[in-house]
Chains A and B, each alone.
Chain A
């Protein structure tokens, strides 16, 4: 199971890559493996503000719909339009081309409260 050291993680299996106050968010390799084949992604609208743990997107696998949560409070700035044409990018490249949205984080210091790779690995029992 791929859990890059450079990222932070949530209990609900999102990853977050912080660059200053800008964050890129997706779902983890573990999450995509559990979801199996992703067939549709409902993307958030840029400009939408979210509190931490607000459901902002939906990833639909063949079997079920799963909410994707904002890891931290902030404003959505961009959604990955490539997922509309090819939702399976979440399966094939969860930490790269399968990113879901970008957001401007209200208080980047809050990221310290998220899990690091080691804590996330423990969380999923790896």
Chain B
């Protein structure tokens, strides 16, 4: 494994990762932990107890002002008017052709204040895109390195955070975001995540990050909580059938092709960028569709780029694939000819010349047990 190049960026928790013995990899221009104790171990911790992730590489962009709501509604595909203060939603940044520039969570913090959480590799391009269309009274603020992000995911997440934060704090419901404090620092906590488990994402000033990280690990140690890296994050999100930018999502894929039409609002008062192109696509129908799949026979795990066949004919390509630690089979996403993308379609994945039997499946592949 090549050593990290010096030009890679580091999060404010970098020294802690080193102390914990993390193996580091390059991800979207950042030097990030891929695992600490092992991907399977960390994956299992999140499914059964809790895992703590550093997500400080993600871009926390604040937008505020009297015009922010209307302007963001032209820039983002979902309808933020549906958000009350303290609520968030999954949404997409699209180009004029309806291609996906980024996928993100947007929160309405206060009436006229918003937080956007961007993919690390997309921050610069997204900011340039937003600023190109900026309007008065919708101020965009992003300070590189100023904010830290932590994700605590798993069935034990709430009981651990109850020990970390003031006793009177009531934790947010799914997709809600609330402010609290840790020591002298303010912390925003949302009930969101990228693992398919219950869990929280914490947004705080960078100088609060080490204390917060250590408190959570200390309180979580007796409950099976472990630090977790990007490796487990990837297998967890794939089992939960959550797309990853750069694999499932790109400027050449539309929300309709990606199965994300639910997060586009054609009816909101503002016309969002890409709407007309999507409307045309909707009328004509799409020729490709993203599908989740599982392998149904023995063989090597599927990986991004492997061809997908049906009756000997190429019908698409795997966009992400892995051995699924909880489902104990090969799983992934594939971009397929729309005719063969319906759940339950038998397909084959070509892996180094061998055809591995598989079938498309309903999303999500993994659904957490009802609590």
Contact = CB atoms under 8 A, between A and B. Distances in A.
Interface stretch (A15-23, A31-39, A45-53, A102-110): A31-39
Contact of A62 (B1, B23, B235, B299): B235
Contacts of B23: 34, 36
Contact of B38 (A36, A40, A58, A64): A36
Interface in B54-104: none
A98 to B, nearest CB: 16
Contacts of A39: 301, 323
A63 B352 contact: no
Contacts of A62: 39-40, 43, 231, 235, 322-323, 325
Interface residues of B, number: 20
A61 to B, nearest CB: 8
A65 B300 contact: yes
Interface residues of A, number: 13
A79 B352 CA distance: 18
Nearest to A31: B1
Contacts of A78: none
Best-surrounded residue of B39, B43, B234 (most CB of chain A within 10 A): B39
A120 to B, nearest CB: 16
5 shortest A-B CB distances, which residue pairs? A39-B323, A62-B39, A37-B40, A40-B300, A34-B1
B108 interface: no
A36 B39 CA distance: 7
B40 A42 contact: no
B256 interface: no
22 contacts: A36-B38, A37-B38, A37-B40, A39-B301, A39-B323, A40-B300, A40-B323, A42-B300, A58-B300, A60-B300, A60-B323, A62-B39, A62-B231, A62-B325, A63-B34, A63-B39, A63-B231, A63-B234, A63-B322, A64-B303, A65-B300, A65-B301
Contacts of B235: 62
B226 interface: no
A63 B322 CA distance: 7
Nearest to A30: B1
A120 B325 CA distance: 33
Nearest to A125: B3
Given A36-B35, A62-B39, A62-B235, 8 more contacts: A36-B38, A40-B301, A58-B352, A60-B323, A61-B39, A62-B322, A63-B34, A63-B234
Interface string B284-314: 0000000000000001110100000000000
Interface in A66-105: none
Nearest to A91: B38
Nearest to A64: B303
Contacts of A63: 34, 39, 231, 234, 322
B17 to A, nearest CB: 16
A60 B301 contact: yes
Contacts of B352: 42, 58
Nearest to A65: B303
A36 B322 CA distance: 14
Identify the interface centre among B1, B35, B40: most chain A CB within 10 Å of its CB. Answer: B40
A73 B125 CA distance: 50
Contacts of A34: 1, 23
Nearest to B43: A62
A9 to B, nearest CB: 17
Contacts of B301: 39-40, 60, 65
Contacts of B43: 62
A56 B23 CA distance: 27
B335 to A, nearest CB: 20
Interface in A1-27: none
Nearest to A41: B300
B112 to A, nearest CB: 43
Interface string B32-46: 001100111101000
Contacts of A36: 23, 35, 38-39, 231
A46 to B, nearest CB: 18
Interface centre among B39, B43, B299, B323 (most CB of A within 10 A): B323
Contacts of B39: 36-37, 61-63
Interface in B348-366: 352
In this complex, which of A39, A58, A60, A63 has the most chain B Cβ atoms within 10 angstroms of its Cβ? Answer: A63
